[in-house]
């Protein structure tokens, strides 16, 4: 009888050990999968933030974002952004004399675009006196010491590496076709009364972690909710300005 009891106890201990090990390994595996998937999702959220900031700066004079992925993706694929090619820097004396990059660039541009030869000659002489160019005996530019040339480049090529698929911006990696939630808002609570336009892009844990480990997923969601945090990954905030930060940062 004693022998049977010992066997039963041994089996119980082994069963409990198996359950404990399984629980620990399940937690570890869940953590590894979550980490790998969230790495790609965070990268996608950063891509969305990049597009939104460019959209705000170059598409809307009021500095507004968009809550429509069709509009955002169309901007990335079809619109162009200014790219400034820089050559030369202003020295200390030029800066002390009140010259700035924008003033120097305007001096060069005014000389280049002057229609009357006499005006162009005068403008180039002013640019030479300011130390921006060197003229030859004919009054022609022999050497530039400073230049700022603006080119317009497709937003897709400016913002992202070659081969980037702009259509992927809306989709949650590992989400089986799920799309990010995209919202916009406005905060006018500042003392100055100026409107601060906001955006957020987010996706819940269930969109990309469902089916791995139900208990671990529920525990993760409960923990975030208890701490008053969004149970998922999110960049920006449509209600309170946070400098477009992600909740992983």
Whether residue 103 lies inside any domain: the answer is: yes
Whether residue 7 lies inside any domain: the answer is: no
Whether residue 164 lies inside any domain: the answer is: no
Domain span holding position 136:
89-145
Q: Name the domain count of the chain.
A: 1
Whether residue 127 lies inside any domain: the answer is: yes
**pLDDT digits 0-9 by tens, 82-111:** 888 899 999 999 999 999 999 999 999 999
Whether residue 70 lies inside any domain: the answer is: no
Whether residue 114 lies inside any domain: the answer is: yes
Contact criterion met (CB below 8 Å) for 186 and 197? yes
Whether residue 106 lies inside any domain: the answer is: yes
> If the chain, 249 residues long, is cut into consecutive pieces of 10 residues, what is the mean pLDDT of each piece?
53 43 59 96 98 90 90 96 89 93 93 93 94 93 91 92 96 97 87 84 97 95 96 96 95
Rounded to two decimals, the pTM is 0.75
- Residue 189 CA, distance from chain mean position: 25
Whether residue 111 lies inside any domain: the answer is: yes
């Amino acid at each position: 009888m004693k022998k049977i009891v010992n066997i039963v106890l041994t089996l119980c201990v082994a069963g409990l050990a198996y359950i404990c090990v399984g629980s620990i390994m399940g937690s570890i595996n869940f953590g590894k999968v979550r980490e790998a998937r969230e790495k790609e999702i965070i990268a996608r959220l950063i891509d969305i933030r990049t597009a939104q900031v460019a959209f705000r700066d170059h598409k809307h004079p009021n500095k507004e974002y968009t809550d429509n992925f069709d509009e955002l993706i169309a901007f990335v694929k079809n619109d162009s952004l200014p790219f400034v090619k820089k050559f030369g820097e202003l020295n200390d004396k030029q800066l002390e004399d009140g010259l700035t990059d924008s003033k120097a660039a305007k001096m060069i541009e005014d000389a280049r675009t002057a229609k009357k030869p006499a005006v162009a000659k005068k403008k180039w002489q002013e640019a030479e006196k300011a130390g921006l160019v060197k003229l030859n005996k004919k009054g022609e530019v022999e050497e530039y010491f400073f230049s700022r040339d603006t080119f317009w480049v497709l937003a897709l090529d400016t913002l992202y590496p070659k081969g980037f698929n702009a259509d992927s911006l809306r989709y949650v990696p590992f989400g089986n076709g799920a799309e990010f939630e995209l919202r916009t808002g406005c905060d006018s609570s500042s003392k100055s009364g100026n409107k601060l336009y906001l955006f957020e892009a987010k996706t819940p844990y269930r969109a990309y972690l469902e089916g791995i480990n139900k208990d671990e997923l529920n525990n993760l969601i409960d923990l975030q909710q208890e701490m008053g945090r969004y149970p998922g990954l999110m960049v920006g905030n449509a209600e309170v300005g946070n400098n477009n930060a992600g909740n992983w940062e």
